[in-house]
Amino acid sequence: MTVTLKYLVEHGVTRAELARQIGLAPTTVTRVLRQQRTTTVTKRKVKSYLRQLKKGTRQMPPGLELSVQKRIALGTAIAVGGKTPLATIGLPAQVGKQGPVLFLDESFTDPTQMVVSLTAWAEGARFSQSLTEGLNPAGWYPGAESKAHIASPQRLNKVLGQVGRSMKAQLLWLPFRTFQLASGKQDPLYPYLIAILARVLAINASAFTVVLDQRSDIKVEQLTADLRHLAAFIYVETGRRVTLQGLLMDSKKSLGVQTADFLAFGGMHLLMPALAAFHIRRLEYDTLIGEPLYQRYTRLHREFAER
């Protein structure tokens, strides 16, 4: 957990109050906030004060937002604007850090059609204050789930604007008939796999981590097998070797999955010019499936899925 003086100021504490709490002059607090040179004694006082806050041996400063006080007490505070830890965007720490991370979600537009959203986070991705405040006005942290369907238009636009600028975001429209296998069974992963194929072909990288929201009808073993098959298909078609690792995550713990949820919801409700203004790539399944490569993948995948 990272708690800094800047974090406290950004969430309601005045510089004068920090100076009084720590026992420093207000001008010295300003120097600390600006990351200017300070004395060893000052650094020691600041470090001691922050450590006491985290341990609960020092009272929370007046003015600090209640939600932030709870996060500090729980050990879940996040410094906005710094490098995004894998755990913050929704990945266990043991997952390899090389290559983009693809988060996917879906929304259903009507009884015959769905939209699959995908956000691609580069290694060392940053998330801005606008994005976290869009997801949760009090600031996002693991466990603070925010659903797009209850967000105001202003919050939705704030999130989509950040997603479009910071990530390679795309939306894929598919008819429900794409779920059906010859046996009559449903194939819940196929829409995601088509979206992943389109994104991987457009990104020059050799390793990807694919993250889906947990669903009762999708098992991680099934996801792993389908991604391995997709990687083999890409190699045969293009000569390019890629590694695709799959994970199912609880959306409450994943900033990445929640941004994909906002993107899917926005895709249903915004017109194409608005999506283009946010730099969000829109794909139509009926257009993709007209290309020979996607036709071959669809045929091979269905044969693989029917086994």
Please, which residues have CB within 8 angstroms of residue 306's CB and are 6 or more apart in sequence? 181, 182, 183
DSSP 3-state assignment of 146?
coil
Q: Does a structural domain hold residue 229?
A: yes
Say if residue 132 is in the same domain as residue 220: yes
Most confident of 128-137, 141-150, 230-239: 230-239
Structurally, how many domains does the chain consist of? Answer: 2
Q: Does position 86 have pLDDT exceeding 50, yes or no?
A: no
Spatial neighbors of 233 by CB under 8 A, at least 6 apart, are 197, 296, 297, 300, 301
Give the chain's mean pLDDT. Answer: 79
Same domain for 135 and 180?
yes
Same domain, 69 and 195: no
What's the CA angle centered on 240, arms 238 and 244, to 5 degrees? 115
Overall average pLDDT of the 44-61 stretch: 82
Together in a domain, 42 and 116:
no
d(CA 96, CA 210): 12
Per residue in 148-180, pLDDT (tens digit) is 776 677 777 777 777 776 677 888 888 877 666
Domain boundary among 74, 99, 124: 74
The answer to whether the predicted template modeling score (pTM) of the entire model surpasses 0.75 is: no
- Domain of 271? 87-305
- CATH code for the domain in which residue 249 is found: 3.30.420
**Domain boundary residue, one of 40, 74, 108:** 74
Helix (H/G/I), strand (E/B), else coil: 41: helix
The verdict on residue 135 lying in a domain is yes
Q: Is residue 275 part of a domain?
A: yes
Residues 21, 26: Cα–Cα separation, whole Å: 11
Residue 81 lies in a domain: no
Position 294, amino acid: Y
**Is there a domain that residue 260 lies in?**
yes
In the structure encoding, which two tokens stand for residue 217, read together? Answer: 């009808």
Q: Residues 49, 173: one domain?
A: no
Q: Are residues 175 and 212 in the same domain?
A: yes
